[in-house]
């Protein structure tokens, strides 16, 4: 325990450190990291509130910009965007019945009903309180579980890494909507696209078609912006704009004494479940909020009120999605493996800074590691302040029509992608991937698993090659008893696949996703 507090103290010192900054020709001494954290959570809340732009597109947009920042400042800001979006997403869900983020879909069910009964204020407050509590606990969870996990990860060989990635990809398939086969196809397509560029082992240029800009492969940011950003804008433009905002009366913010009594248990359960689900590869905020809502509906003695404005239906998923958002950093920080698209972008951010993600980050760069964890706690505190007293400001934003928003989003994306290599070619590729993403969505194939495959493609090939070389070409090395960890990962992956392939569960899974729509 003492070690944790020592480490956290190190982190807090890093977060509040004064730095000499040169900005636009002026030199100033500022607590720069904390300012970046603030910028991150404000941006996160902003895009969380605005439907139609999510953390993936925003982080992708800002990646090239972070090139000029110190690694820790960049990562603190990007992390803030992700968990900040969980706060902002609930505001839109409660007031407009539109999820600002996919992870606040279930909050709509009861949050909006509370708002319709004139209890928007307590609903917003419950969401913020639950999120804050969950954020604090999840920070401690990260601090406690990351070091031992990293130690285990240091013993991983190529076989273990390969099997772990298989498990992660299978988990991504489980989380995808609709057909399982199509989701697997998207993962494989992502893996293949990830192989474009120079092969590290032989130096051969693969699938570059003589285009010199493709020698380094297709940029991850380019793909993410196209598949998520461009595709999302087009999808939004298809629909007629229609929003009914419940801004007239947010009412008293403070929940009543009875509200407090009723929210304690759901918040605790939501936090516990969210933290656990966030750690799983393929997990994160989305899975956590769904799981928590379902669990709460089963165990609560007020289950008959669910869907009609039960405060438990806001408290549990909102705590869970924030807890899940934060603990999903654990696989990234300890294993160097992203569990969802946002974490894949964080890997991109680390690589831009010349940091190889993996278990060695904690020992080689303790300031970075613990600073990032400490910043999560500080960021959560800022978010409570941003979201409760300043709620009126965010509500006003909801009235901005989409026709003002999307050209701005498009411009920032184009600037961001162009600046990666200062060549027009990347923007061209972005448009191509936007088109591909649009076609995929129309054909009922979700882009999220593809993105995960894309980032893991080269890593998987590398580890497969090494494992096969070490085992002299024996393909059973991954399941041999001498490698129990690798065997365990693959068994887990097989069980997951068997579960979703089973007809009974398949129906249930479809039902869950129907409810979401």
Partner 1 sequence: MGIKIKSQQDWWAGLMFIGFGLFFITFALGTPEFIDRIVGTKLIAGYQMGSSVRMGPAYFPVVLGGLLAFLGLLVLFDSIVEEGPDVAKFHFRPLLFVAVSSLAFAYLLKPLGLVLASVALVFISAFGGHEFKLKEVAIMSVVLVIFSVLVFVKALALPFPICPGFIDNCPIR
Q: Which is nearer to partner 1, 229 or 284 (CB)?
A: 229
Question: What are the distances in angstroms from CA 170 to CA 179, 227, 268, 316?
Answer: 13, 20, 29, 27
C-beta of 468: minimal distance to partner 1 in Å? 6
Judged by the rule CB under 8 A, the positions of this chain that interact with partner 1 are 23-24, 65, 68, 179, 181-182, 184-185, 188-189, 191-192, 195, 199, 201-202, 204, 206-207, 230, 233-234, 237-238, 240-241, 402-404, 406-408, 410-415, 418-419, 422, 424-428, 430-431, 434-435, 438-439, 442-445, 460-461, 464-465, 468-469, 472-473, 475
Question: 314: number of CA atoms within 13 Å, CB side?
Answer: 36
C-beta of 402: minimal distance to partner 1 in Å? 8
At residue 29, the 3 state secondary structure works out as strand
Query: How far is Cα 112 from Cα 118, in angstroms, rounded to an integer?
Result: 10
Residue of 112, 63, 107 whose CA lies nearest to 86: 107
Q: Which is nearer to partner 1, 206 or 261 (CB)?
A: 206
Residue of 267, 268, 266, 290 whose CA lies nearest to 278: 290
Q: Which is nearer to partner 1, 74 or 287 (CB)?
A: 74
C-beta of 116: minimal distance to partner 1 in Å? 28
Query: How far is Cα 172 from Cα 291, in angstroms, rounded to an integer?
Result: 16
Query: How far is Cα 123 from Cα 129, in angstroms, rounded to an integer?
Result: 10
C-beta of 202: minimal distance to partner 1 in Å? 5
Q: Which is nearer to partner 1, 1 or 504 (CB)?
A: 504
C-beta of 427: minimal distance to partner 1 in Å? 3
At residue 308, the 3 state secondary structure works out as coil
Q: Which is nearer to partner 1, 307 or 475 (CB)?
A: 475
For 500, the token pair is 């979703």
Q: Which is nearer to partner 1, 229 or 255 (CB)?
A: 229
Residue of 131, 128, 126, 121 whose CA lies nearest to 246: 121
**Helices 285-299 + 257-279 axis angle, to 10:** 130
C-beta of 368: minimal distance to partner 1 in Å? 22
Q: Which is nearer to partner 1, 16 or 425 (CB)?
A: 425
Q: Which is nearer to partner 1, 296 or 426 (CB)?
A: 426
Q: Which is nearer to partner 1, 298 or 507 (CB)?
A: 507
C-beta of 464: minimal distance to partner 1 in Å? 7
29, β-bridge pairs: 20
Q: How many residues does the chain have?
A: 517
- DSSP per residue, 400-414: S-HHHHHHHHHHHHH
Question: 59: number of CA atoms within 13 Å, CB side?
Answer: 30
Residue 369 main-chain phi, psi, to 5 deg = -65, -55
Q: Which is nearer to partner 1, 44 or 194 (CB)?
A: 194
For 31, the token pair is 């607590």
Work out whether the CA dihedral 392, 395, 396, 397 comes out positive or negative: positive
Query: How far is Cα 383 from Cα 79, in angstroms, rounded to an integer?
Result: 13
Residue of 459, 450, 458 whose CA lies nearest to 197: 458
C-beta of 258: minimal distance to partner 1 in Å? 46
Q: Which is nearer to partner 1, 150 or 169 (CB)?
A: 169
C-beta of 72: minimal distance to partner 1 in Å? 18
Question: What are the distances in angstroms from CA 268 to CA 144, 317, 421?
Answer: 18, 11, 47
C-beta of 449: minimal distance to partner 1 in Å? 13
C-beta of 230: minimal distance to partner 1 in Å? 6
198, β-bridge pairs: 205
């Amino acid at each position: 325990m003492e070690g944790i507090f020592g480490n956290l103290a190190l982190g807090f010192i890093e977060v509040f450190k004064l730095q000499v900054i040169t900005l636009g020709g002026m030199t100033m001494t500022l607590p720069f990291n904390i300012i970046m954290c603030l910028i991150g959570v404000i941006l996160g809340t902003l895009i969380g509130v605005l439907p139609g732009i999510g953390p993936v597109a925003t982080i992708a947009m800002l990646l090239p910009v972070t090139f000029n920042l110190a690694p820790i400042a960049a990562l603190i800001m990007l992390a803030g965007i992700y968990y900040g979006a969980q706060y902002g997403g609930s505001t839109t869900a409660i007031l407009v019945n539109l999820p600002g983020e996919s992870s606040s879909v279930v909050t709509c069910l009861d949050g909006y009903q509370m708002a319709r009964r004139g209890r928007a204020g307590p609903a917003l407050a419950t969401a913020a309180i639950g999120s804050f509590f969950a954020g604090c606990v999840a920070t401690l969870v990260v601090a406690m579980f990351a070091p031992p996990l990293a130690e285990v990860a240091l013993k991983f060989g190529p076989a273990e890494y390969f099997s772990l990635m298989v498990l992660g990809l299978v988990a991504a398939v489980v989380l995808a909507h609709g057909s399982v086969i199509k989701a697997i196809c998207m993962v494989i397509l992502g893996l293949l696209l990830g192989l474009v560029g120079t092969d590290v082992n032989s130096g051969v240029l693969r699938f570059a078609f003589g285009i010199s800009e493709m020698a380094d492969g297709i940029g991850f940011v380019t793909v993410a912006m196209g598949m998520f950003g461009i595709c999302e804008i087009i999808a939004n433009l298809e629909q007629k704009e229609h929003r009914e905002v419940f801004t007239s009366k947010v009412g008293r913010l403070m929940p009543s004494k009875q509200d407090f009594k009723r929210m304690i248990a759901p918040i605790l359960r939501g936090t516990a479940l969210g933290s656990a689900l966030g750690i799983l590869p393929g997990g994160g905020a989305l899975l956590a909020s769904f799981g928590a809502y379902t669990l709460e509906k089963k165990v609560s003695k007020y289950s008959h009120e669910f869907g009609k404005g039960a405060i438990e239906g806001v408290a549990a998923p909102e705590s869970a999605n924030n807890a899940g958002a934060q603990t999903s950093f654990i696989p990234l920080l300890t294993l160097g493996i992203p569990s969802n698209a946002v974490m894949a972008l964080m890997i991109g951010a680390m690589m831009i800074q010349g940091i190889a993600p993996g278990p060695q980050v904690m020992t080689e760069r303790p300031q970075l590691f613990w600073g990032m964890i400490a910043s999560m706690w500080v960021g959560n505190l800022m978010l409570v302040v941003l979201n409760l007293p300043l709620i009126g400001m965010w509500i006003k934003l909801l009235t901005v029509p989409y026709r003002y928003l999307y050209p701005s989003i498009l411009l920032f994306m184009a600037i961001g992608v162009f600046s990666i290599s200062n060549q027009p070619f990347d923007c061209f590729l972005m448009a191509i991937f936007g088109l591909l993403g649009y076609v995929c969505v129309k054909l009922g194939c979700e882009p999220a698993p593809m993105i995960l495959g894309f980032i893991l493609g080269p890593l998987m090939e590398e580890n497969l090659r090494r494992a096969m070389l070490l085992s002299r070409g024996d393909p059973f090395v991954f399941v041999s008893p001498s490698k129990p960890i690798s065997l365990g990962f693959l068994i887990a992956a097989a069980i997951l696949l068997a579960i979703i392939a089973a007809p009974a569960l398949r129906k249930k899974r479809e039902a869950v996703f129907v409810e979401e729509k």
